Every structure is written in structure tokens, then in C-alpha cells.
Amino acid sequence: MANILIFLETNNQKVKPVAYEIMGKLQGQNIETLAIGSIDEDSKNNLMKFGASKIHLIQNDQLKDYNPEGYSNAVASFLKNHSFDYVFAGATAIGKDFFPRLSASFESGCASDITHLSFEGDQLHAVRPFFAGKCLAKVEMTGPKPHFITVRPNSIGAPEKENPQSAEINEINDAQAGDLRAIIKEVIQGASNKVDLTEANIIVSGGRAMKNSENFKILDELADVIGATVGASRAAVDSGYAPHAMQVGQTGKTVSPTLYIACGISGAIQHLAGMRTSKVIVAINSDPDAPIFSKADYGIVGDLFEIVPMLTEEFKKILNG
């Protein structure tokens, strides 16, 4: 049995779902969790439900907002007083930023963007894509412990079973953020209240065929009905139809939703690299020979400006009926 620590990324004191995904794959191991700041009661109950034996909470006013130096220093000081074999986090912007710092400070390995994992005894076996997802590498980690792993959100699925137990809540007030060379003065919330692309369960994306930024409103309308987040291809972003924060692909965000609806996207390899691990792919394109159809589970050949509004109306009938 391996000793596991899962770093909990939070938003408004709620634990992000990738932590529960990881816990679901670690049933049978000794699992503890660590967050910086406080988490709400629902999150604590969920952590206990999925097998956390301890919930550690670092309290430090310097770390109210994310700081890569501060987070890595505080977590490192905590780890030096404990014995863990593996430390997990989501492969989010924060996880991918400060986990390599942590692994360097311990001179241990860091496996990034894992899409599958399992244990044989206390030995981790993991899979990660590389070369834009064209190849898969089997990963085993050796050398000094703890080893550090980030897991791609939505890639390994929600927990299949619950393992409810009580957990010790441990508030830590002496973890040091260190001398910070950069201070976060303010974090400005984006205008959208929708889930970030990397965590979204349903994504509707538009490509160059959207023609202009105003036309993205038909994707917004569909997304509002089905609870989706709107994305865009690089071609749409380069054309000025959407901001870079919406870009899905090799030079944008890598996503793994349950449902990905590609509207007017041809299916260039750079775009496929960012969404090929989606569970179900639906393609809408007027070109029957578009490469996206070779990767799609369902394809609709036709004008997206006719089809998307029809889908929106049909979903309204189904979901409101």
C-alpha cells in the first residue's frame, strides 16, 4: 500500500473535481489530502466519502492568491515533515506550474498530464500522451521519493464506488511561504461564469467557418441550453473571432470532456491534439471530406448556421420536456 498525498485545488472553497477523479483511481491506497486555505463542508464530506484519511489545510495569509514560489515553498515544508510515496494534483495551469518546482526541490521525478493510472502494490503504472497525443508512454517512477504526478482533468472518470470514512482535519499554521520575489496584488475574475475549458464536461467549439465573432452567439445559445463551455479553434482565434483563452488545441488548451461538439472545424492535427481524448465527438461541417469526420463519433454534413439553431431548439424541447 502506497502513501498518497493529493493536492486540492480550490475555487471559492470548493475542491475542483479532478481531485475526486484521482481518488477514485487510488482506492486501496492510504490517501491524504492537502489544500492551501479553507474548504467548505460539502468538499470535506466528499473527500471523506472517497477515502481521505486526513485533510490537511495550510493557513497562510501570504497565499490567499496563487503564487508559484509561495505554494511550492509551503507544500515543500509540509512534505519534509511527512513521508509520502506519491503526490498528485490536477494538470491544471496551477498544477503544471508549481509541481515541477516541487519535484526539483526534492530531486525526484515529475510525470505530467497523466491520462491513466493504476497500482500494483505500491508501484504506480501510468500513461501519458506525447507528440501531441500521437504516442502514449507507459510511466514508472524510480529514485528519490516523493514522486510528483499531475493528472489531466476529465481523463480518468469519476469514482466508480465510494469508500466513506471519517477523516482527521489538520490545520497547519507554520508552513512557510518564504521570501517571495513576486507578489500577487489582485486577481480579476473573467466576465464568464462558465466552467473553464479544461474542466468542462461539455464543450461546443467553433472554427474559421464561424466567419466573425458575432456569430459565436449561436454557440453561446446552444451552450447555455446544454450547460456547456464554448471553445474555438486556432484558426478562429487567429482570425480574431475569439480570445486565446477559448483556444482548444496544441497551442491552446487540452480538454477531455464527455461531449465535444465541433462546429465548422476542419480537424487539423493541431486541433485534434487538444481534444482527441474527448469521450464523444460530434462534428458539424459542410465539407463531407473534412478530416474531423474521421475522428468523430457522430457527423453532420451541412451548414452550421442552420444545424446549430436546430440543435438548440431540439435540446430545449428534450431538456424542458
Do 149 and 234 fall into the same domain? no
Which of 139, 172, 205 is the last residue in one of the domains?
A: 172
User: CA-CA distance, 292 to 294, in Å (whole number)?
Assistant: 5
pLDDT digits (tens, 9 = 90+) for 244-293: 999 999 889 999 999 999 999 999 999 999 998 899 999 999 999 999 99
The predicted pLDDT at position 192 comes to: 65
For residue 200, give the 3-state DSSP assignment: coil
The predicted pLDDT at position 54 comes to: 95
The predicted pLDDT at position 141 comes to: 87
The predicted pLDDT at position 16 comes to: 93
The predicted pLDDT at position 209 comes to: 96
User: CA-CA distance, 278 to 202, in Å (whole number)?
Assistant: 9
Do 30 and 137 fall into the same domain? yes
Q: Would 316 be classed as within a structural domain?
A: yes
- Number of folded domains in the chain? 2
Of the listed ranges 86-95, 108-117, 179-188, 212-221, the one predicted with least confidence: 179-188
Please answer whether residues 260 and 276 qualify as being in contact, where contact means their C-beta atoms are separated by less than 8 angstroms: no
Residue 126's domain comprises 3-172
On the question of pLDDT at 7 being above 80, the answer is yes
Do 99 and 231 fall into the same domain? no
User: CA-CA distance, 88 to 116, in Å (whole number)?
Assistant: 13
Reduced DSSP (H G I as helix, E B as strand, rest coil) percent helix, strand, coil of the chain, to 5: 30, 30, 40
* 8, amino acid identity: L
User: CA-CA distance, 240 to 199, in Å (whole number)?
Assistant: 24
Q: Would 107 be classed as within a structural domain?
A: yes
**Strands 10-11 and 14-15: what pairing?**
antiparallel
pLDDT digits (tens, 9 = 90+) for 180-223: 888 888 777 766 677 889 889 999 999 999 999 999 999 999 99
User: Among all chains, which residue has been given the C-alpha cell 472554427?
Assistant: 207
User: CA-CA distance, 126 to 202, in Å (whole number)?
Assistant: 26
Do 135 and 85 fall into the same domain? yes
Please answer whether residues 78 and 7 qualify as being in contact, where contact means their C-beta atoms are separated by less than 8 angstroms: no
Q: Would 187 be classed as within a structural domain?
A: no
User: CA-CA distance, 174 to 132, in Å (whole number)?
Assistant: 42
The predicted pLDDT at position 143 comes to: 86
Do 257 and 146 fall into the same domain? no
In this structure, what CATH number is given to the domain that contains residue 209?
Answer: 3.40.50.1220
Which of 172, 187, 215 is the last residue in one of the domains?
A: 172
Q: Would 156 be classed as within a structural domain?
A: yes
pLDDT digits (tens, 9 = 90+) for 126-180: 999 887 777 889 988 888 899 999 999 988 877 776 777 788 999 998 888 888 8
User: CA-CA distance, 66 to 108, in Å (whole number)?
Assistant: 23
Q: Would 108 be classed as within a structural domain?
A: yes
DSSP letters spanning 27-86: TTSEEEEEEES---HHHHHHHHHTTEEEEEEE--GGGSS--HHHHHHHHHHHHTTS--SE
On the question of pLDDT at 235 being above 90, the answer is yes
The predicted pLDDT at position 32 comes to: 96
DSSP letters spanning 115-179: -EEEEETTEEEEEEEETTTTEEEEE---SSS-EEEEE-TTSS-S-SS------EEEEE-------
The predicted pLDDT at position 229 comes to: 96
